[in-house]
Copies of this chain bind each other. A is one copy, B any other.
Amino acid sequence: MQGTVGELGEFGLIRELTARLEPTPAVDLGPGDDAAVVKAPDGRVVATTDVLIEGRHFRRDWSTAYDVGRKSAAQNLADVAAMGAVPTAILLGFVAPADLPATWATELMDGLRDECKVAGAAVVGGDVVRGDAVTLAITALGDLQGRRPVLRSGAQVGDVVAVTGWLGWSAAGLTVLQRGFRSPRAFVEAHRRPEPPYHAGPAAADLGATSMVDVSDGLVADLGHVAAASGVDIDLRAADFDVPAQMADIGQAVGVDPLLWVLSGGEDHAIVATFPKSVQLPARWRVVGEVVRTARPGRGGRVTVDGAPWERVGGWDHFAAE
């Protein structure tokens, strides 16, 4: 395809984008009407929205349109999974400059579609408008299949903290890119295209998870939300994290303690949950800490590492000074 989205026009662009989609059995009505209709057999629907802006959440010179699509779908679908639900659908609000190559838009849609496919979902609708900065507003929907939603507020003293998925890979890859390198490839790829363990969310709910969250801002930061919502203190054990040898090598090369990436790096969308000690966790869950006590009155719950505060790079405040 040649030309720009401006040359295609709104309806031409919508036609090109929707032509690439593949429905699932959960899609009663896809794009093209006032609204989509998606099955919600549970009788409740899980819904979440994220906005991604060029230059802030992705860079067109570091990631292909396809990877941006994969990644932006992944971060929303992971939120659905972290409630204990199975993703069913996403909707895309798409702001594009008129001079954006049409292929960028169609490859973005291919990425959204393919990531949805991994999670068992489908793109069911959206909106395209013209604007100065490429902006994606993604809404993901999911079905709880009869499960109670697993909230941030349910962690109990004595629970173990367990994690599954990748930790620190995206942050290590970002550091590599920031230094002007394109390898090691595995980490750069992890930054461009996270692989959230979607299946682990509903599975954790079935195993009896008391709280759950996906790691989008960094493990310590996201567990901080769990600690605050549950009114508990959480302690992580640094020795229980697995720092891959290659990540340690990158750390040495760039002068960064790789534990920083593992504990504070976001965007891998690992899933972390608390479970009663009695739960037998499948092999791919790694126990990395414990809910140690009720938070002191008047002070929100906090997260420590080996009993001490983790004072390094915390979570990400989108309005903090850059």
Contact = CB atoms under 8 A, between A and B. Distances in A.
Contact of A83 (B13, B34, B137, B214): B34
Contacts of A56: 129-131
Contacts of A98: 319
Nearest to A88: B45
Given A37-B83, A44-B40, A142-B35, A49 B93 contact: yes
A45 B51 contact: no
Interface string A136-165: 010111101000010111000000000000
Interface in A22-38: 28-29, 32-38
Interface string A217-251: 00000000000010000000000000000000000
A47 interface: yes
Contacts of A299: none
Nearest to A318: B10
A153 B30 CA distance: 13
A273 to B, nearest CB: 11
Given A317-B9, A319-B6, A319-B13, A35 B47 contact: yes
A41 interface: yes
Contacts of A142: 35
A35 B141 CA distance: 9
B127 A10 contact: no
A50 interface: yes
A37 B45 contact: yes
Contact of A45 (B38, B83, B85, B137): B38
14 contacts: A10-B317, A33-B229, A34-B214, A35-B82, A37-B44, A37-B46, A43-B43, A47-B141, A49-B125, A49-B126, A51-B135, A53-B95, A56-B129, A133-B133
